């Protein structure tokens, strides 16, 4: 089968023929239809310090996918051949303290699909059946493809109550955009998102934010004044990992404000802890998705009309993966999808500007 492989310990990915996997007991074999490219995949392509530390070569990479079950191993009854599925990319031990207490997203022995075991950038992959999430047959395939990062957005966006609250989101990447759509759908009052990329700020306007702010030109106090806000933001969602984002967010919060942090910074960040203490702020780190409460919430949100499809702006056949990764690296995009179908349906390749 075809697979995108980190074949050598150097920058690059290679489209190669590799043996097709076979499902073991409790596993299912999935024919991959589409995959989403994640920032993690870009780290692996670039072979940066994080990738060199965490990834062993050779490895089939990728973890965001939608596909169809084509075979099941012994003992599998949760999914069946023909089911349309995405997958939870964190495989947990099941025996540590957190797993035994039902907090599987906190397992200290987690293995990652496309990082520690063969990933989804392939014609087929195997996963434990318990890690597969069945979709309704009529779901938008683009939406199903990005359920993994959508889960990150939902986990972060709903970490604190947002009904009637003023929400600040720093970082208008795909997960920040989806989080903005979630908090708006969940009943937030003002939803303000910040970035410096005009393309992504325009995408933010398309998902219905109150204000999409270029912080290189406009300050947060100016935005608050324009919106008639008497106090600071009630909830903050830090999605960017930029070293200036969290300190600016801390300074913009109301007393008792709550901050959920998903963005990973490349180094230590200095914040004003006296402000955190005196304003009684809560700062909560977020990682991955709650298994499987977040997946349930995602499905309900989509069933109830939340449309995250505008976040997908580019699609490429897998043979054009180099152009797809170049598009992601350029930054003038939302979510970038690779199509693994040998004969994609006519007209299945959407516009590449994301705005028209």
The tally of domains found in the chain comes to 2
- Written as six digits, the tokens of 155 are 């986990």
185 is catalytic: no
Residues 246 and 207 grouped into a single domain: yes
Q: How do beta strands 211-214 and 191-195 pair?
A: parallel
40 is catalytic: yes
Residues 140 and 12 grouped into a single domain: yes
pTM above 0.85, yes or no: yes
Which amino acids are annotated as binding site, given as ranges?
38, 63-64, 93, 96, 99, 107, 175, 195, 200, 262-264, 286-287
Rounded Cα gap, residues 79 and 126, in angstroms: 13
Question: Where do we find the tokens 């990082």?
Answer: 115
Q: Of these residues, 40, 110, 156, 170, which one is catalytic?
A: 40
351 located within any domain: no
Task: Supply the range of the domain harboring residue 73.
Answer: 2-146+308-339
88 located within any domain: yes
| CATH at residue 190 | 3.40.50.720
Per-residue pLDDT of the chain (356 residues; tens, 9 = 90+): 999 999 999 999 999 999 999 999 999 999 999 999 999 999 999 999 999 999 999 999 999 999 999 999 999 999 999 999 999 999 999 999 999 999 999 999 999 999 999 999 999 999 999 999 999 999 999 999 999 999 999 999 999 999 999 999 999 999 999 999 999 999 999 999 999 999 999 999 999 999 999 999 999 999 999 999 999 999 999 999 999 999 999 999 999 999 999 998 888 999 999 999 999 999 999 999 999 999 999 999 999 999 999 999 999 999 999 999 999 999 999 999 999 997 655 544 443 443 32
**Beta strand ranges found along the chain (DSSP E):** 2-6, 14-17, 27-36, 59-60, 64-72, 84-87, 90-91, 111-112, 124-128, 132-134, 167-170, 191-195, 211-214, 233-238, 253-261, 282-285, 312-317, 335-339
Rounded Cα gap, residues 247 and 220, in angstroms: 12
Which amino acids are annotated as binding site for NAD(+), given as ranges?
175, 195, 200, 262-264, 286-287
């Amino acid at each position: 089968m075809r697979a995108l492989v980190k074949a050598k310990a150097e920058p690059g990915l290679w489209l190669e023929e590799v043996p097709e996997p076979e499902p073991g007991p409790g596993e299912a074999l999935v024919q991959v239809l589409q995959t989403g490219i994640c920032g993690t995949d870009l780290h692996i392509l670039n072979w940066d310090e994080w990738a060199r530390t965490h990834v062993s070569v050779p490895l089939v990479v990728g973890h965001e996918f939608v596909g169809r079950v084509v075979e099941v191993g012994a003992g599998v009854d949760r999914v069946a051949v023909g089911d349309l599925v995405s997958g939870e990319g964190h495989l947990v031990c099941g025996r540590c303290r957190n797993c035994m207490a039902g907090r599987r997203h906190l397992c200290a022995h987690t293995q990652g699909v496309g990082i520690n075991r063969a990933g989804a950038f392939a014609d087929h992959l195997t996963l434990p059946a318990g890690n597969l999430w069945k979709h309704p047959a009529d779901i938008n395939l683009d939406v199903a493809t990005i359920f993994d990062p959508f889960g990150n957005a939902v986990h972060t966006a709903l970490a604190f109550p947002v009904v009637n609250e003023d929400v600040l989101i720093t970082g208008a990447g795909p997960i920040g955009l989806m989080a903005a759509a979630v908090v708006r759908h969940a009943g937030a009052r003002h939803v303000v998102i910040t970035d410096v990329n005009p393309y992504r700020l325009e995408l933010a306007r398309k998902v219905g934010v109150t204000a999409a702010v270029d912080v290189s030109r406009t300050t947060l106090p100016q935005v608050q004044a324009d919106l008639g806000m008497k106090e600071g933001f009630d909830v903050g969602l830090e999605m960017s990992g930029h070293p200036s984002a969290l300190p600016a967010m801390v300074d913009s919060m109301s007393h008792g404000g709550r901050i959920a942090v998903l963005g990973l910074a490349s180094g230590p960040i200095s914040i004003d802890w006296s402000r955190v203490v005196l304003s009684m702020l809560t700062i909560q780190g977020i990682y991955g998705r709650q298994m499987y409460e977040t997946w349930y919430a995602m499905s309900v949100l989509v069933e109830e009309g939340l449309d995250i499809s505008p976040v997908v702006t580019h699609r490429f056949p897998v043979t054009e993966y180099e152009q797809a990764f170049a598009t992601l690296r350029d930054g003038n995009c939302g979510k970038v999808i690779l199509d693994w179908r040998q004969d994609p349906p006519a007209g299945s390749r959407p516009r590449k500007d994301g705005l028209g």
